[in-house]
Amino acid sequence: MGWLTQYFLNPSYVLPGAALVSLPIIIHLLSRMRYKKVRFAAMEFLLQSDELNRRRLIIEQLLLLLLRVLAVLLIVLLLARLVLDPSQLMMLAGAKTHHVVIIDDTLSMRQQLDDETVFEHSISTLERMLKQGDTFGSQATILLMSQPDRALVTNRALNRSLIDELTPQLRNLNCTWKAGSPVPALQTAYNTLSSDGGVAPQVHVLTDLRASDWLGQPEISDALDQLDTIHARVSIIQVTKQTESNVAVTSVTSNKYATAINTAWRMEVRFANHHSEKVTGLRASVYVDGLALPGNILIPDIEPNAEIPVTHDITFDTPGQHEVEIRLDSDVLVEDNSRFVVVDVADKRTILIIDEEGSQTDAGFVELALSTDQMAAEIRTPDVLQNQSLDDYDMVYLLNVSKLPADAVILLRDYVASGGGIVWFPDDGADPTFYNTTLRSADTPLFPVKLGTIQAIPAATSDQEPQFQRPVFSEHPVFGAFSELPFADNILVSQWYGTEGQKPAEDNPDENDPLKVAVLAKLTNGDPIVYEHQVGDGRVMTFLTTAGRRWTTWPTVPPAYVMTHMLMHQYLQKPTTVVESRIIGPPLRFEWPVTDYTEGVEVFLPASDENADNSFRRLQAAPVDNKKNKEDSGEETGEDTSSPEETSLEVTISEADRPGVYRVRRFTQEGEAREKWLALSVPVTESNLLVAEAGDVEQLTEGDHVQVVSAEAASELSTSDQGRELRWVLIALLIIILLCEQLLALRLSFHPEVKQS
Amino acid sequence: MQPDEIAKISRLELRARKVVEGFVSGLHRSPYFGQSIEFVQHREYVPGDDTRRIDWKVWSRTDRYYLKQFEEDTNVRVVLLVDGSESMQFGAGSLSKFEYAQTVAAALSMLILKQNDSVGVGLFDSTMRSIIPSSSRHNHLQAILKGLSAETAGGKTDMIGVLRKAAEVMSHRSIVILISDLFCDRDELFKGLQLLRQRKHEVLIVHTMDDQELDFEYAGTMRFEGLEDAGKLTCDPAALRAGYQKALETFLETIRRRCAGSVIDYRLARTSEHLDAVLSHLLNFRIGMRRV
């Protein structure tokens, strides 16, 4: 009788029900056999009436009998839960109810309700649905929205033992700190259900139904439409209904995450008000290495649904990496009230000045301009570029360089490409071939223009003042203030390099130009004097005059000169690689060439309730499967990703799933420890707790297979969909048939009129 | 008098007396006194004759004793024909149709005799089962009651035969009151009635019908077995009710129409109906007849 399961969810009711269908016929026959006998005189009229009405009566009696049989049949179908699906293929494939439950475990589910979080409420709702369910003939698959590829259970028979097994598992589930879209989970549900061929596929999504997650994403409509193709009903169970106000720290950024001790490090903190009313009087605390700094960040009033930036300076008094946390007072969603950042603090910031000039006078001027307590400039000859790594330098000056060996050029190219900054000051000793060919090759595009001939102002005569040129600066972080400062007029230029070829547009780099060459300053005669262009992640600035006094009076105008070099340092400073900030998302994965570090990796997790006693993990890196790596390029990897051809090691820190600062320590082949500090913060997209309107979500798809229900109204898992099961159709038919039966029975029976006394 | 109450009285005499007393006490006057005074002939006196009837005028002339003889001693001669066929056994209420007919006949006899009228009773089915000859004597009532009580309903109806027989027997002009359910061949019935009418008899029909025969308020599956071998039928009576009533109505209408055509007085009497009403109808009929 297995075929019955194709059409009935309770097939065991079918055969007894079929026997019941014969009941009206039996009752009818019995009633014909059990009669009251009457000796009657007026038989003549009775026989006449019988003769006239016999045919009609037989038809009416048969119709009444048929209606009664149908009524019993419909009741049996309702109890046996008839399942009909337009897709006969589905029926032939072997039908059973398959429930795919998707639990939203994204960050916003951590919102606090009265005495539990929304996530905990969704788990208790699911437990109730499981317990209330009639466990006959159903299958269950339970997914988490954050990782739909790792189902809690897959296509298991929904019975008591499964519920007993699931209950502790569900209670131990933790909500993640991640953002997440329902799309992957819905697609997984589709894949699961389409391969299963269940006749009544059901998808239940336990979610907080945030507008940011559910609306404005065409992919969700596509995923829901896809589910409609297999006739799956989607029940979106809304665990929370009310939109709560929430203020969040949305970002902590800075121009640089490396600074020196006793130097004010400036950060920009942004606060968002996801609230319908203006928020006033907010304060944020600043924690450095877990200790609160005195004083708070005073936050101006934030308009509804607005975000404001607030700058704040911190001074570090010890070198090393420092964990900085900005923390707001608690609200309904605690997790987005704090954000982390790591700052690499050095005793001094180091700058390399290469000067080929014998006396290195020009280098002296630059060193003097940069001479503060927090900076240390090293003056070297070009030879140093052949045997020294540049990673420890914030930037590199190249003064009066005639030409450089090829490996030095490659070293500079790599330095700039990885984020470093260099500044050229060529003098009359420059080798035009080197500058115009080697430095402008496609492989090492370190110079922005072709050098032309040296230009000079006309020689001064006795009766005429020298006709100096003055630089005119464009808007730029380095030169932005010069136009307003009076001393800028004192900068005079007597000699400079002319350029060959087409000149780039001033301050408006060509978008198609990979180098993005821009002119930052021109002389009054129109000749460009300062260029900037980009190579990889780094920048190159080029002055077509000297850094010393030979061709310009710039060094003799100290405020302008010092300001220029200080701001250039800030602008070109190579970002530190030992600290990094990320948003919690895919598992944290590091990959590096096998020659760089050994397999052993030590990880220090941020302190939490779970690992308060042991936050240290020792991990072992594994060789990378290059083929797999090529195919699977979606995962976020560390900065040390090597080319696929090289043998690499990789390690995944699965526990890096919560906000805080993680320290990853690797060891060079020489045994030297190198640490990387990672600040993980929660995704900002989860902070807006605006709940989507149920109707809007239901209208994401043109079909009517999507229904939003409240957690309280969520039905048990085994209750199949009304449309799929034809329950309401059967009930309507039953009502109609019972009405017809009553009307016909009324017509066929005798009801004496009540005589009034 | 309600039939329910009448039914509790087992003896027909008491039953009839109760009906008549109730009926008479309800009348304001009793207008039915009088006697026949039409002289026919003289007859010589024989001992034992009522000396009050001696015609003394004849004696003074002839010195012989003659009695005066009048044409009729009574005002009206009434013949009650009571149907005693099997179909009259039927009765869903307190009285069967036959019991009802017996009571009506007894009460009428009592009333008629009280008026010094003559009454005779014939009880029939397929034949004239018993005949109580007409008489106006007071003690005649006992004979009528005894005759009615002794009979039970049974046998088939042969109306034409019975009526023909009655017509032959009745030599005097009479009022014939037929108390029957008329479940017989209509043509034969009216042929017989016509025969009576041709012989100058006034005919009055008390059509006795039971409530269930008229209303047919049966419910549930029933098996009807016809009296007088009228057939059998198992059916849901509610479903046949409309058709039954239609056929019955046609029957009653036919009876009424043909009675009117033959100048026969017709009265449908339900067995649940007050007996007074039936008696009243009959008396009214008699008044009407005297006026003619």
Helix (H) or strand (E) run with residue A616 in it: strand A616-620
The CA angle A452-A454-A456, to the nearest 5 degrees, is: 140
Amino acid found at A169 = Q
The CA angle A666-A671-A675, to the nearest 5 degrees, is: 30
Q: What percent of chain B has pLDDT over 90?
A: 11
pLDDT in tens, A283-307: 899 999 888 988 888 899 999 989 9
Contact between A601 and A588 (Cβ < 8 Å)? no
Question: Do the Cβ atoms of A41 and B244 come within 8 Å?
Answer: no
Question: Do the Cβ atoms of A748 and B238 come within 8 Å?
Answer: yes
pLDDT of residue A601: 92
Could you tell me if A519 and A432 lie in one domain?
yes
Could you tell me if A744 and A704 lie in one domain?
no
Identify which of A35, A52, A748 has the shortest CB distance to residue B222. A35
Strands (E), A124-240: 138-144, 153-157, 200-207, 233-238
Residue A753 is assigned to a structural domain of this protein:
no
Could you tell me if A108 and A254 lie in one domain?
no
Q: How far is CA B104 from CA B25, B107, B111, B242, in A?
A: 17, 5, 11, 31
How many domains is chain A partitioned into structurally?
Answer: 5
Task: Answer with the one of A572, A593, A610 that is the final residue of a domain.
Answer: A572
Residue A754 is assigned to a structural domain of this protein:
no
Q: Where are the alpha helices (DSSP H) in A346-391?
A: 361-370
Residue A614's domain is classified under what CATH number? 2.60.40
Instruction: Tell me, rounded to whole angstroms, the distance of Cα B161 from its chain centroid.
Output: 17
Buried-exposed string B194-218: b where 16+ CB fall within 10 A, e elsewhere: bbbbebebbbbbbbbbbebbbbbeb
Rounded distance, CA A56 to CA B40, Å? 70
* B-chain residue closest to A28, CA distance: B221
What is the DSSP-derived secondary structure letter of residue A193?
H
- Partners of B181 on chain A (C-beta within 8 Å) are 41
Confidence at B34, pLDDT banded by 50, 70, 90? very low
Task: Answer with the one of A346, A373, A397 that is the final residue of a domain.
Answer: A346
Residue A757 is assigned to a structural domain of this protein:
no
- Partners of A46 on chain B (C-beta within 8 Å) are 216, 224, 233, 235, 237, 240, 244, 247
Calculate mean pLDDT across residues B267-292: 72
Task: Answer with the one of A346, A377, A411 that is the final residue of a domain.
Answer: A346
Could you tell me if A165 and A235 lie in one domain?
yes
Calculate mean pLDDT across residues B49-70: 84
- Partners of A42 on chain B (C-beta within 8 Å) are 90, 183, 213, 244, 248
Cβ contacts of residue A210 below 8 Å, gap of 6+?
Answer: A108, A686, A688, A689, A690, A691, A692
B241, B244, B246, B252: CA torsion to nearest 10: -130
The burial class, CB within 10 Å (0-12 / 13-18 / 19+), for A698 is: middle
Smallest CA–CA separation between B221 and chain A, in Å? 5
Smallest CA–CA separation between B68 and chain A, in Å? 53
pLDDT of residue A646: 59
Q: What percent of chain B has pLDDT over 70?
A: 81
Rounded distance, CA A389 to CA A411, Å? 8
Residue A94's domain is classified under what CATH number? 3.40.50.410
Question: Do the Cβ atoms of B225 and A39 come within 8 Å?
Answer: yes
Residue A327 has pLDDT above 50, yes or no: yes
Residues written for chain A:
757
Confidence at A645, pLDDT banded by 50, 70, 90? low
Smallest CA–CA separation between A226 and chain B, in Å? 58
Domain span at residue A614? Answer: 579-683
Residue A238 is assigned to a structural domain of this protein:
yes
Buried-exposed string A159-195: b where 16+ CB fall within 10 A, e elsewhere: eeebbeebeeebeebebbbbbbbbbbbbbbbbebbbe
The CA angle A489-A492-A493, to the nearest 5 degrees, is: 145
Dihedral sign (CA A708, A714, A715, A719): positive
Structure tokens at A409: 């050029």
* A-chain residue closest to B247, CA distance: A45
Contact between A465 and A423 (Cβ < 8 Å)? no
Smallest CA–CA separation between B7 and chain A, in Å? 21
Question: Do the Cβ atoms of A46 and B225 come within 8 Å?
Answer: no
Could you tell me if A92 and A212 lie in one domain?
yes
Confidence at A757, pLDDT banded by 50, 70, 90? very low
What is the DSSP-derived secondary structure letter of residue B54?
B
> Where along chain B do its domains lie?
3-30+74-291, 39-70
Rounded distance, CA A475 to CA A481, Å? 8
pLDDT in tens, A504-520: 655 566 666 777 888 99
Rounded distance, CA B100 to CA B181, Å? 11
pLDDT of residue A719: 42
Identify which of B234, B244, B246 has the shortest CB distance to residue A35. B234
Other CB atoms within a 10 A radius of the CB of residue B290 amount to: 12
Q: What's chain A's average pLDDT? A: 83
Residue A755 is assigned to a structural domain of this protein:
no
Rounded distance, CA A275 to CA A332, Å? 12
Q: Which CATH superfamily, name and number, covers B3-30+74-291?
A: von Willebrand factor, type A domain (3.40.50.410)
In 3D, which of A358, A421, A344 has the Cα closest to residue A390? A421
Structure tokens at A242: 């009310």
Identify which of B87, B219, B223 has the shortest CB distance to residue A41. B87
Could you tell me if A236 and A270 lie in one domain?
no
A637, A639, A644, A649: CA torsion to nearest 10: -70
Amino acid found at A429 = G
pLDDT in tens, A342-399: 998 888 889 999 998 878 889 999 999 988 878 889 998 888 888 778 888 989 999 9
Smallest CA–CA separation between B209 and chain A, in Å? 9
Contact between A444 and A404 (Cβ < 8 Å)? no
Could you tell me if A298 and A319 lie in one domain?
yes
pLDDT of residue B73: 47
Q: Where are the alpha helices (DSSP H) in A377-491?
A: 406-417, 432-433
Q: How far is CA A279 from CA A105, A242, A616, B49, in A?
A: 29, 19, 40, 141
Cβ contacts of residue A289 below 8 Å, gap of 6+?
Answer: A322, A323
User: Comparing A86-90, A545-549, A605-609, B186-190, which segment has the lowest mean pLDDT?
Assistant: A86-90
In 3D, which of B255, B164, B249 has the Cα closest to residue B215? B249
Q: What percent of chain A has pLDDT over 70?
A: 88
User: Comparing A235-239, A396-400, A630-634, A713-717, which segment has the lowest mean pLDDT?
Assistant: A630-634
Residue A515's domain is classified under what CATH number? 3.40.50.880
Other CB atoms within a 10 A radius of the CB of residue A701 amount to: 19
Amino acid found at A17 = G
pLDDT in tens, B201-222: 888 999 999 999 998 888 888 8
Residue A193 is assigned to a structural domain of this protein:
yes
Identify which of A44, A57, A749 has the shortest CB distance to residue B230. A44
Could you tell me if A67 and A208 lie in one domain?
no
Contact between A539 and A533 (Cβ < 8 Å)? yes
Residues written for chain B:
292
Rounded distance, CA A447 to CA A423, Å? 10
Question: Do the Cβ atoms of A41 and B230 come within 8 Å?
Answer: yes
Listed as own residue / partner, the contacts of A606-610 with beta carbons closer than 8 Å and 24 or more positions apart are A606/A658, A606/A659, A606/A660, A606/A661, A606/A662, A607/A660, A608/A658, A608/A660
Three-state secondary-structure class, residue B187? helix
Residue A631 has pLDDT above 60, yes or no: no
Contact between A645 and A547 (Cβ < 8 Å)? no
Could you tell me if A397 and A488 lie in one domain?
yes
Could you tell me if A107 and A230 lie in one domain?
yes
pLDDT of residue A613: 64
Chain A residues within 8 A (CB-CB) of chain B? 31-32, 34-50, 52-53, 57, 60-61, 748-750, 752
